[in-house]
Amino acid sequence: MNAKDLYPNENLKNICYINNVIKNPNIIIGDYTYYNCEKNPETFETECVLYHYKEFGDKLIIGKFCSIGENVKFMMNAANHNLNAITTYPFTAIMQKENKINKKHLSELPNKGDTVIGNDVWIGMNTFIMPGVHIGDGAVIGANSLVAKNVAPYTIVAGNPIREIRKRFNEEEIEILLSTKWWDWDIEKIKENLDIILSPDVSKLSKL
């Protein structure tokens, strides 16, 4: 298991560690996070991250050990239109050469900040994530969901718009998981303790 490998399994070319293919410095991906796409998972940056223009400066930050299903879309802030103006028509985008109005009006467009996905998050296929959303560590997003609000750690959500299905663990167990931060361990320590990490017994994790 090597974070520098493009494909974690050479027999499965539909899964790649996407931090090895990202070129945009405003997209930050943690080690071992993969994108699953039957056609070409290496296209994550161009196919999944929408309206990500450098003029806005917003970042897409995804933690370690995340599982991202096919056709997940991250809508970034440049997709927003100004609801307070007389028109919602994006003259600023259409008239890029008209610098007189471009800089002024770009600053007036809604900007919800960076989109931040925690560690060990599973995002089901065809999910749509809106700008500025924060998804906590260990969360699960059901397939075909619209995520327009923050998701708490270790919470399962699904739907359009999303609704909470349940917590994956009780509050005490979630505290242990968030404080242990197993995803920050050296990969060798992770592999040595897979029997515990792959079990439901959080109490054993707290003893390591």
> Other CB atoms closer than 10 Å to residue 128's CB: what's the count?
16
pLDDT in tens, the chain (208 residues): 888 888 888 777 889 999 999 999 999 999 999 999 988 888 999 999 998 988 788 999 999 999 999 999 999 998 888 888 888 888 777 776 665 556 666 677 778 999 999 999 999 999 999 999 999 999 999 999 999 999 999 999 999 999 999 999 999 999 999 999 999 999 999 999 999 999 999 999 988 7
Find the catalytic residue in 52, 81, 105, 134: 81
81 classed as catalytic: yes
Between CA 71 and CA 40 the distance in angstroms is 11
Q: What is d(CA 43, CA 202) in angstroms, rounded to the nearest whole number?
A: 36
How would DSSP label each residue in 79-98? G---TTSS----HHHHTTT-
Hey, what are 152's tokens?
Answer: 């708490």
Q: What is the pTM of this model?
A: 0.91
CATH 2.160.10.10 in the chain: give the residue spans: 15-79+114-168
Burial string for 18-42 (b: 16+ CB within 10 Å, else e) reads bbebbeeebbebbebbbbbbeeebb
What whole-number distance in Å separates Cα of residue 160 and Cα of residue 87?
27
Give me the architecture of the 15-79+114-168 domain, per CATH. Answer: 3 Solenoid (2.160)
